[in-house]
């Protein structure tokens, strides 16, 4: 099956700086890569996603890039704010199935 | 739009008791997933249903766990008997199978279970 690795496990940045979280996957058949943000005491919420026919996608301060050849994708958050502090999860899913394979999460702290 | 609804939000029980967690997926979604989240193991998929039929229950830890989906708008996850190591946050998520490619999953707020 698919194996998703996520780095780093913790990340601290100063407010206004950028944050980058990286994930790698093992199965070249994976074609959908969502990113979730989980705030304390809440369920994971989808913040951005990318499909394998696209190399980059942006939504305001958040962007995701995908390198299919290297089998890795990254979340970029620019101009970080304290409310960006949360745990972020990446995931990958195969074209033929519904199951998501999640990374182990990155705890992001934005220091005011 | 109502998102995924889970109940109860918090559950405290004693070892050996039966625990039933409930989930109402987003209307129109036909896939439903149960996850368990702990600090040690992260997010684990326990079981998922397509069109009310269990597709993959390989993540269910043992026979004490069971899940049902009697109709498209309701699912339960039952633990009987419960043990302290079952303490975790249990999430339900749903998605729609319409279209091609990967299907976005939408998570509920979770049930925080503590087994004493």
Quick: pLDDT tens for A5-58. 999 999 999 999 999 999 999 999 898 999 999 999 999 999 999 988 888 999
B-interface mutation test, from A98, A101, A102, A107, most B Cβ less than 10 A away: A98
Distance CA A56, CA A3 (A): 22
* Average pLDDT of the segment spanning A84-94: 94
What residue of A is the nearest CA neighbor of B46?
A99
Helix (H) or strand (E) holding A100: strand A100-102
Flag whether residue A45 sits within 8 Å of chain B, measured between CB atoms. yes
Quick: pLDDT tens for B46-102. 999 999 999 989 889 889 999 999 999 999 999 999 999 999 999 999 998 766 555
Share of chain A above pLDDT 70, in %: 97
C-beta separation of A46 from B104 below 8 A: yes
Kindly indicate the confidence band of residue B103, based on its pLDDT and cuts at 50, 70 and 90.
confident
C-beta separation of A85 from A108 below 8 A: yes
Planar angle of CA A92, B6, A1, nearest 5 degrees: 20
Distance CA A68, CA A95 (A): 14
Flag whether residue A95 sits within 8 Å of chain B, measured between CB atoms. yes
């Amino acid at each position: 099956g698919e194996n998703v690795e996520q780095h780093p496990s913790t990340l601290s940045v100063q407010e206004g700086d950028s944050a980058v979280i990286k994930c790698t996957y093992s199965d070249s058949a994976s074609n959908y890569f969502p990113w979730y943000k989980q705030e304390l005491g809440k369920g994971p919420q989808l913040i951005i996603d990318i499909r394998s026919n696209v190399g980059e996608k942006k939504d305001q301060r958040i962007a995701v890039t995908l390198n299919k050849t290297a089998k890795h994708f990254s979340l970029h958050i620019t101009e970080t704010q304290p409310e960006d502090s949360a745990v972020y999860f990446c995931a990958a899913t195969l074209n033929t199935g519904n199951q998501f394979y999640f990374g182990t999460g990155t705890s992001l702290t934005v220091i005011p | 739009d109502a998102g995924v609804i889970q109940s109860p939000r918090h559950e405290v029980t004693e070892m050996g008791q039966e625990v039933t967690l409930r989930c109402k997926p987003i209307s129109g979604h036909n896939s439903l997933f149960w996850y368990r989240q702990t600090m040690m193991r992260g997010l684990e998929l326990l079981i998922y249903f397509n069109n009310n039929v269990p597709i993959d229950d390989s993540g269910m830890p043992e026979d004490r766990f069971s899940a049902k989906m009697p109709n498209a708008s309701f699912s339960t996850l039952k633990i009987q008997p419960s043990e302290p190591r079952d303490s975790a946050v249990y999430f339900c998520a749903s998605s729609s199978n319409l279209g091609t490619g990967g299907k976005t999953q939408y998570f509920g707020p979770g049930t925080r279970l503590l087994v004493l």
